[in-house]
Amino acid sequence: MMRKAPAIIVLGKGSLATARKIQQLYPDALIHGLEGRVEDVDSLYQSFGSTLRQLYQQDTPIIALCAAGIVIRTLASELLEKGAEPPVLAVAEDGSAVVPLLGGLGGVNVMAREIAAGLGVAPAITTSGELRFGTCLLNPPSGYALADLELGKRFVSDLLAGESVRINGTAPWLEQAQLPQSEQAQLAIHVGCDAREASANELVIYPRCVMVAVSQVLPQLAQVIRDGLRSAGIAEPALACLVAADELMADPALREAADDLGVTLRFAPGAADASALAASVLPQLLPAQPLVDGLALVVSNQPIDPHGVGRARGRLAVIGLGPGAADLMVPAVKAELARANDVLGYETYVRMAGPFRPDQVLHCTDNREEMQRARHAFELAAQGRSVVVVSSGDPGVFAMAAAVLEALHESSDPCWHAVDLEILPGVSASLATAAQAGAPLGHDFCVLSLSDNLKPWSIIETRLDLACQADLALAFYNPISRSRPWQLGRALEIVRQHRIGTTPVVLGRDIGRPGQTLRVVQLQALKPEDVDMRTMVLVGSSTTVTFDRPGLQPWVYTPRWYGHKP
């Protein structure tokens, strides 16, 4: 299991020096600072409580440079919920104390030791087993899996009560632990990949040293693999990865089987025969045993690191950032940004999507090079990388998703078609603006881009005229720009032929971004000079109304009903 990069949380300038030292230990970690109190951090947050809880829910390890009590009180509401329990540590501002609080099975004590060593202090470890043996038997390092947690807990408490232990099999990390070993011991730790019921007084740990090669996707693949492992006498948790022929890359049944088995899926150039495929990725190992037609099994004498086997299926995600504010970005998009190797997009949006880690490659391009950017994204993803193309708002609304699909449609390269392509939605500017104004799009509405860069102006006039005839509320994207100065004026002329002068119009500028403004005006008073390319224009239908809201622009809404109020 690979641990996510931790988040380092600081409340004030006083703890920045300590935070930086910790960041040197975890170069992927970002420092999050309280807005207004610190600058020059990787990310600013406004609310300590909601930031901490969100990180916790997302299973992100947390290193908070503040009092343990603050962290405990903040996370208290999360603790009753079953779910993620990432490592959580409190570290004194000046680096003099490192206190692991939560995430005992997620490796919090390992982190406490690492951080304390980096700061030159002793960690405040309170877990008896850890203290005594210097390792948590219940949380083996990646490459090993514990057979049974409950049996394990009993085993550790017996050890703590003073029993000694024998180790059968090899696991270097266990040899390094300060276990009270004795050849005559009653208690035994068994390390091996064979399927085995733990006998009394035995702790079974499986090294993840088994790989299954797949050259043919059989029906019920996960079950066939399980049966194959069982007949070979191998325990399922010892399975480290599946490797499949490149031609099978886009097969959803294969992905499903890997997810079902909880293992990493890798690919290698296609040998038609599974044993040959296995040999091609792990040539130094014992010969592969055929399981059934299309499947072969390899058992190594040490844990297999799946990331060293073949390569991953490339992934391309086209994401929507939402209007700008971080809390209007959907969690799936945040997770996608965290896993990205490469990020492509218009520079402003790429910057909005940050902060990024030093290992993430940013490819900033001009806004107009859409097709070129889409093709570049496929080239990177086809190499097995995880690639993100960013759009503001929603990627399917006058943005990159359609360009990416068009590039794929035009391509006959099988590697491009094998990429794991996903479009992740965002809050579009019309919806973000509408929400701030009330519900101007509360009934049927029509979304139009007023840009005639990619379509003839006559089409825009026709559609606008028909949408007005249909009495739809209107949302104008790209309403005006320096190179398109007259189009908005002409569009408003058409609208005024159908709508009365008092029709409410909402102007949202830089919504969800610093310096956002929201104005509600009447159609008769609207001038193109009131609008620029960073503005969203929402024009009401015949039923759209407004009423006062104290101290702010009036509420605007379009009722749910039409014709007669029910």
DSSP assigned state of 354: -
Helix (H) or strand (E) holding 318: strand 315-320
CA distance 190 to 204: 5
Shortest CB 356 distance to ligand SAH, Å: 21
Count Cα atoms within 13 angstroms, Cβ side, for 168: 16
Shortest CB 454 distance to ligand SAH, Å: 11
CA distance 495 to 539: 9
Residue with tokens 């947690």: 149
Closer residue to ligand SAH in complex, CB, 105/552 = 552
Shortest CB 485 distance to ligand SAH, Å: 14
Closer residue to ligand SAH in complex, CB, 145/511 = 511
| Residue number of the CB atom closest to ligand SAH | 393
Shortest CB 136 distance to ligand SAH, Å: 47
Shortest CB 51 distance to ligand SAH, Å: 22
CA distance 237 to 208: 7
Q: Strands 361-365 and 342-346: what pairing?
A: parallel
CA distance 415 to 281: 20
Residue with tokens 């203290």: 131
CA distance 282 to 304: 9
Closer residue to ligand SAH in complex, CB, 306/323 = 323
The tokens for 19 are 């935070």
Closer residue to ligand SAH in complex, CB, 232/523 = 523
Closer residue to ligand SAH in complex, CB, 12/489 = 489
Shortest CB 322 distance to ligand SAH, Å: 8
Which residues of this protein are in contact with ligand SAH, per CB under 6 A? 323-324, 391-394, 397-399, 428-429, 433, 477-479, 508-513, 533-536
Closer residue to ligand SAH in complex, CB, 48/457 = 457
Helices and strands: H and E segment counts in the chain: 18, 28
Is there a contact between 180 and 164 (Cβ–Cβ < 8 Å)? yes
Closer residue to ligand SAH in complex, CB, 15/428 = 428
SS3 at position 419: coil
| Per-position DSSP letters for 429-488, written without gaps between them | HHHHHHHHHEETTSS-EEEEE---SSS-HHHHHHHHHHHHHTT-EEEEES--BTTB-SHH
CA distance 93 to 9: 11
Closer residue to ligand SAH in complex, CB, 93/370 = 370
CB-based burial of residue 481 (10 Å sphere; 0-12 exposed, 13-18 middle, 19+ buried)? Answer: middle
Shortest CB 519 distance to ligand SAH, Å: 12
Shortest CB 470 distance to ligand SAH, Å: 22
Closer residue to ligand SAH in complex, CB, 386/392 = 392
Helix (H) or strand (E) holding 115: helix 108-119
Shortest CB 388 distance to ligand SAH, Å: 15
